Structures are given as C-alpha cells and as structure tokens.
Amino acid sequence: MTVTIEDYHGEETAWCQGCGNFGILSALKKALVELQIPPYEVLIVSGIGQAGKLPHYMKCNTFNGLHGRTLPVATAAKLVNNHLNVFAVGGDGDGYAEGGNHFMHTIRRNPNIKYLVHNNQIYALTKGQASPTSDVGFVTKTTPGGVTAKQLNPIALAVTLGATFVARSFSGDIPHLVQTIKAAVQHRGFAYIDILQPCVTFNHLNTYSWYLKRIYKLENEHHNTSDIEAAYRKAHEWGDRIPIGIFYQNQQQPTYEEQFPVIKEQPLVKQPIDPKQYEKLIQDFL
Ligand SMILES: Cc1ncc(C[n+]2csc(CCOP(=O)(O)OP(=O)(O)O)c2C)c(N)n1
Ligand code: SF4
C-alpha cells in the first residue's frame, strides 16, 4: 500500500501562525512519505516545549516525556524494538540545556536514532527566555541587559565528540530539510540535525530574513563530508555566513544496538518471556 501524507495527519496544531515548527512538521512527513515508511514503523519521542508538541501533530507511535529527557527514552525504545524508525525531537533548550548531558552520551553510544533539534535560539513555551544558543547581546526576559554567556556551538560540539552524522538545515527551506532528513534516516547510526527554526513571537532577532541573508549550502561549496577537520572549520562559521547541509558523516562506527547480541536475531519486544526466569529475581525482592 502506498504511504501518503494523509496517513501521518495528526491533531490540529496549537503553534502561532508563521512559526518555523510548521516547516519541520511538513518536511518530516514528506521525508517519511518519500521513503515510503508507514506510520506503524515510526516512533517519535519528545520532551516538553513548543517543539516537543510535534508528535501530537503526527499520526504514528509517539511518546511525550520529561523536559530534556528525550534521547535516553528514544535510545531505550530503539533497544526494545530495533526494527522501529525512532526519531527524537525537541527544542534547543530541551536538547542543549536540560538535555545537554544526554546529547553528549547519546553521541558516544551511536544508537541508530534520528535527532531533530528545533533551534529557535530561545525558550518559546516558557515565553521567551534566553537559551544556550541565543546570540550574545540578545535582550530577553531573563537577560534584560543582553545575553552575556558565550553562545553554545552544538555543531562543533557534535563533531568534536565524534557524532557519526552532523547536519544543519533551515525550516524555511523545506526541500533542503526533506533531503537532510532522508539522508539522516538512511544513515546507519545516530543522525543529528540542528534545524534553524524562527520563533515569530518571542525571537525578533533571528527572523526568517535574518537567516535568509546569511545561510548558504555546504553542498554548493564542494564540502567533503568525510573530512572531520573541514567539518570542524565549517562548524565555526556563524555570523555573516551560516552553513547548512551535512557537515560530517561516518558510517564505519558500530551502532549501539549492534553491540547487543540478544537482539541480533529479533527485537526484544518479539522475544518470548518465560516467567520462570524471573522467579529467583522476584524471590529476592520478597
Ligand atoms: C526540568 C524542567 N525544567 C524546566 C521546565 C520548564 N520548561 C518547560 S518548556 C521550557 C523551555 C522550552 O524551550 P525549548 O526546549 O527551547 O523548546 P521551544 O519551546 O522553544 O520549542 C522550560 C524551561 C520543565 N518543564 N522541566
Ligand atoms: S511561541 Fe514561537 S516557537 Fe512557539 S508556536 Fe509561537 S512562534 Fe512557534
């Protein structure tokens, strides 16, 4: 049976008109349809935030958990059912502040999950406080005198930690985002995409036109995605020129789940359970 966009149609959205999240929702659906992946083979995990609401607007398996705890939940789900296409989604606050620790350790483990960060450079659900990716000098409710802390560079961090797929895209360029998500899905291992996502209500600095003036595509500059040093150099471009595209890719690393012989034959979820195996364990707790 052919998979269509309607198959993924979820609840009505509660995002503001013009929000960059719409581009991400639409691109994710398009990528899944172009790859002909049916909804029952997809799980989308999120935490809390405007970005964290995305699974509500999709019809497939979803899990909405705690703020900043998206990646460990997604990793666990992948271990339990390694045949599922597992996506983790969340904001820059969720992923780089509350969940920063998990970002680091998921990169080390390299599970075959896909991580889409809606990077609007602000905390949107809690009405506009500074986030780790807010520009220096940006005036917000928590930084009335302007942000003084140095901006986090998540792309450079991911490259440095040895992430096996590191990309950036823009929610205002749906074809580019669809292409990048498809490449992430086809990657064997942890695929991370930082998606520049204008928040039209609380971020009046990093607007669509602000990004459009600066963004250029790595693929138009013959960037070599297997050259980690070139990726690191490109990761440090932020200002007048902002690169989007795949910075780095390496498919030579084993995935996390490949290292568990118990799920080699079939997913844990499909393996028979013999209650007798647990008798001793239960006795120990009684
Ligand atoms: C542990 C914890 N800390 C703080 C909060 C409050 N909180 C809820 S959403 C949010 C910010 C969300 O911002 P972001 O992750 O960037 O997502 P966005 O809303 O911008 O998409 C915060 C701080 C919370 N729910 N849990
Ligand atoms: S507050 Fe910002 S991120 Fe949230 S829905 Fe509105 S525009 Fe989008």
Please say if the pLDDT value at position 279 is more than 90.
no
Instruction: Fill in the amino acid letter for 254.
Output: P
pLDDT in tens, 31-90: 999 999 999 999 999 999 999 999 999 999 999 999 999 999 999 999 999 999 999 999
In the structure, which protein residues have their CB atom closer than 6 angstroms to any atom of ligand 1? 48-51, 67-68, 90-94, 98, 118, 120, 122-126, 131
As a whole-number percent, the residues of the chain with pLDDT over 90 amount to 94
Mean pLDDT of the residues in the chain: 97
Among 89, 126, 140, 142, the mutation site with the greatest number of ligand 1 atoms within 8 A of its Cβ is 126
**What's the 122 CA to ligand 2 centre distance in angstroms?**
10
Among 12, 13, 19, 89, the mutation site with the greatest number of ligand 2 atoms within 8 A of its Cβ is 19
The C-alpha angle with vertex 60 and arms to 245 and 191, in degrees rounded to 5, equals: 25
Please say if the pLDDT value at position 167 is more than 90.
yes
Please say if the pLDDT value at position 286 is more than 90.
no
User: For the whole prediction, is pTM greater than 0.85?
Assistant: yes
